[in-house]
Amino acid sequence: MSRFDYARLLSRPRSSFFLFGPRGVGKSTWTREKLAGAHRIDLLDEGLYHSLLADPSLFAAELNALPRQSWVVVDEIQRLPSLLNEVHRFIEERGLRFALLGSSARKLKAAGTNLLAGRALRKQMFPLTPQELGADFDLETVLRFGSLPLTWRSSDRRATLLAYVQTYLREEIRAESIVRNLPGFARFLPVAALFHGQVINIAGIARDAGTARTTVDGYVEILEDTLLASRLRAYEARLRVRERKHPKLYWIDPGIVRAVKKQLDPPSAEERGHLLEGWIHTLLRCYAEERALFDDLYYWAPAQARQLEVDFLLQRGRELLAIEVKTSARLQPAQLAGLAAIAELPDVVRRILVYGGARRLRTPAGIEVWPLGTFLAALAAGKLWP
């Protein structure tokens, strides 16, 4: 095993499943390990893709030759959504089990696909976590270059990330005809990257990218469908103040968002805050996927108190857990303002400030202050909740 062959947190389902994740996240590598004897159909193979595009019956003929209960891995299933009709039939009639890999759910949604009507689980793979990296984990490297396996294995991470963005535009966007105006989408990307970890300002993005607001709405949806970014909703509750309604935008990996901006030098102090916050957002989603860490995830910020905010509010049943993320090594009273204010919410069972310091503290009001390492250990052990 090479030093880059990391054991992933993702567990293999026993029945058919979709596995989504951005390009380079390690889906194909993972299935080669977990489903070593599976029959593989790679739709990135242009010859095979065009053969099946011209004659989809060849797909059924290939599946007919397999023993009952066989595993079949179909890579980049979004390129031919029509094949899911045959997948459905072979699950029902022959008991075949499928691992359906995709870097985009957009064409599946556009085709009206029902994702096999519940006959296949839906899973998502994320960039490498500190738990997966083990002794190789280095926060500065992750914040600068991210932790996609494709990038982590590279001897030239800067060049790999810049090429990644161009490959995304060329193969994911242009080749699949996702947008009509590729130059407009290319202008949109670095502007959207500036909103990483911030409330989305559609009008501002549209103005800076020279694009209509309705077009920008569609472009943000493309980022979500191609799994490069996601929106985090604001938590709404009936308090004395009205909560902010607009979602925040988070890119899935620090390296990707920095490559889109073509800023891959060591992060500035100002940039580090959003990078760390965004990285923790991805970690929370990853552990929710595998460990059922929470039922729902929000941020909280009263609209009438713009300096008050809590980065993440986890909901499990009726219980709420609030998390604020700061990069500074010194604790400042102002950093606790959001967590102090959110105590008004009913059912908040824990309030945690994650910071860059080394000491674990607890304030008289019950706010817990955790070093980043303490938080990561609790996350890996499934012990965030009291």
Rounded Cα gap, residues 233 and 162, in angstroms: 30
Instruction: Among 94, 124, 154, identify where a domain stops.
Output: 124
Asked whether residue 2 is domain-assigned, the answer is no
CATH number of the domain residue 28 falls in: 3.40.50.300
Do 220 and 310 share a domain, yes or no?
no
Rounded Cα distance, 56 and 59, in Å: 6
pLDDT in tens, 342-357: 998 999 999 999 999 9
pLDDT in tens, 272-325: 999 999 999 999 999 999 899 999 999 998 766 667 899 999 999 999 999 999
Evaluate whether 42 touches 79 at the Cβ level (below 8 Å). Answer: no
Strands 248-251 vs 198-199: parallel, antiparallel or unpaired: antiparallel
pLDDT bracket for residue 267 (50, 70, 90): very high
Confidence of residue 1 (pLDDT cuts 50, 70, 90): very low
- Contact of 385 with 360, CB cutoff 8 Å: no
Confirm whether 8 is domain-assigned: no
Contact predicate 97/125, CB 8 Å: no
pTM for this prediction: 0.93
Q: What is the CATH number of the domain that holds 373?
A: 3.40.1350.10
Q: 200 lies in which domain range? A: 130-270
**Does residue 170 sit within a domain?**
yes
Residue 181 structure tokens: 């105006």
Q: Across residues 230-238, what is the average pLDDT? A: 87
- Same domain for 74 and 146: no
DSSP per-residue codes, 276-315:
HHHHHHHHHHHHHHHH---SEEEEE-BTT-TT--EEEEEE
Q: What's the number of domains the chain is made of? A: 3
What local confidence, expressed as pLDDT, does residue 117 receive? 67
Both 202 and 253 in a single domain?
yes
Q: Is the pLDDT of residue 133 over 90?
A: yes
Residues 228 and 306 in one domain: no
- Alpha-carbon span 381 to 263, nearest angstrom: 34
Q: Are 309 and 284 in contact (CB under 8 A)?
A: no
pLDDT beyond 60 at 374: yes
Whether residue 84 is found in the same domain as residue 111: yes
Q: CA-CA distance, 138 to 126, in Å (whole number)? A: 17
Tell whether 342 is covered by a domain. Answer: yes
Considering the domain architecture, whether residues 205 and 248 belong to the same structural domain is answered as: yes
Q: For residue range 158-173, list pLDDT tens digits in order.
A: 999 999 999 988 888 8
- Does a structural domain hold residue 4? no
CA distance 252 to 275: 10
Q: Would you say residue 115 has pLDDT above 80?
A: no
One domain, residues 265 and 287: no
One domain, residues 138 and 255: yes
Which of 124, 155, 190 marks a domain boundary? 124
Residue 37 lies inside a defined structural domain of this protein:
yes
Residues 6+ apart with CB under 8 A from 35: 12, 71, 73, 99
Domain contains 104: yes
Question: Pick the residue with more confidence: 44 or 5?
Answer: 44
Q: Counting beta carbons within 10 angstroms of the beta carbon of residue 359, is it exposed (0 to 12), middle (13 to 18) or buried (19 or more)?
A: exposed
Segment holding 250, helix H or strand E: strand 248-251
Are 112 and 147 part of one and the same domain? no
> How far is the C-alpha of 325 from the C-alpha of 332, rounded, in Å?
13
Q: 312 and 297 in contact (C-beta within 8 Å)?
A: yes
Q: What is the DSSP string of 79-114?
A: G-TTHHHHHHHHHHHH--EEEEEES-SHHHHHTT--
- 111 with 24, same domain: the answer is yes
DSSP label at residue 182: H
Evaluate whether 211 touches 219 at the Cβ level (below 8 Å).
yes
Which of 80, 102, 124 delimits the end of a domain?
Answer: 124
Q: Residue 112 — very low, low, confident or very high, per pLDDT cuts 50/70/90?
A: low
Q: What is the mean pLDDT of residues 119-142?
A: 95
- Looking at the structure, tell me whether residues 103 and 218 fall in a common domain: no
List C-alpha distances in Å: 306 to 167, 243, 299, 332, 333.
Answer: 39, 10, 13, 18, 17
Cβ atoms of 71 and 37 closer than 8 Å: yes
Same domain, 194 and 242: yes
In a domain, 343, yes or no: yes
